[in-house]
């Protein structure tokens, strides 16, 4: 059985509150889980101790059983010093989207067309 340590969303609209849970990979995000391992409240300040609470003993247990943490939970575990820090690269984040690329190509073509006659006139 493939296991995950992930967030299950709770709270009302625009007021999220998450439970850190150990669950079967096939279960829905907010569905059935095996054990609640902690909580995460993103509305609290980043330096607050109440923002992320984890039962490290149980987290270690599930990691030893082969449970894989999701990216967000892995960041919590790295901050707590449970797992080694990994290097992440989001190569697509800095890349412009499709529409922005098309606009840049059109602008470059316009500038090239505008500069071409000016260079010919100055050569004569």
* pLDDT tens string 7-26: 999 999 999 999 999 999 89
Cβ neighbourhood burial of 121 (10 Å; 0-12, 13-18, 19+): exposed
Round to whole Å and give the CA distance between 10 and 18.
6
- Quick: pLDDT tens for 107-116: 999 998 888 7
Report the share of the chain in percent with pLDDT over 90. 59
Q: Are residues 57 and 115 both part of a single domain?
A: no
Tell me whether residue 116 is in a domain.
yes
Instruction: With respect to residue 22, please indicate whether it lies within any of the assigned structural domains.
Output: yes
Q: Is the same domain home to 75 and 104?
A: no
Interacting residues of 123 by C-beta distance below 8 A, sequence separation 6+: none
Tally of structural domains, the chain? 2
Q: Whole-model pTM above 0.95? A: no
Q: Which domain holds residue 104?
A: 93-124
Within a domain: 41: yes
Residue 22 belongs to domain with CATH number = 3.30.1320.10
Is 22:35 a contact under the CB 8 Å cutoff?
Answer: yes
Is a pLDDT exceeding 60 seen at residue 122? no
Q: Are residues 30 and 52 in the same domain?
A: yes
Query: What are the contacts of 74-78 at 24+ separation with CB within 8 A?
Result: 76/20, 76/40, 76/52
């Amino acid at each position: 059985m493939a296991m995950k340590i992930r967030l299950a969303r709770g709270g009302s609209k625009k007021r999220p509150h998450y439970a850190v849970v150990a669950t079967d990979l096939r279960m829905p995000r907010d569905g059935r889980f095996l054990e609640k391992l902690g909580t995460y409240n993103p509305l609290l300040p980043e330096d607050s101790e109440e923002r992320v609470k984890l039962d490290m003993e149980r987290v270690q247990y599930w990691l030893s059983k082969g449970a894989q943490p999701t990216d967000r939970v892995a960041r919590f575990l790295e901050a707590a010093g449970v797992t080694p820090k990994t290097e992440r690269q989001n190569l697509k984040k800095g890349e412009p989207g499709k529409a922005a690329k098309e606009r840049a190509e059109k602008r470059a073509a316009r500038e090239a067309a505008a500069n071409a006659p000016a260079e010919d006139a100055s050569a004569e």
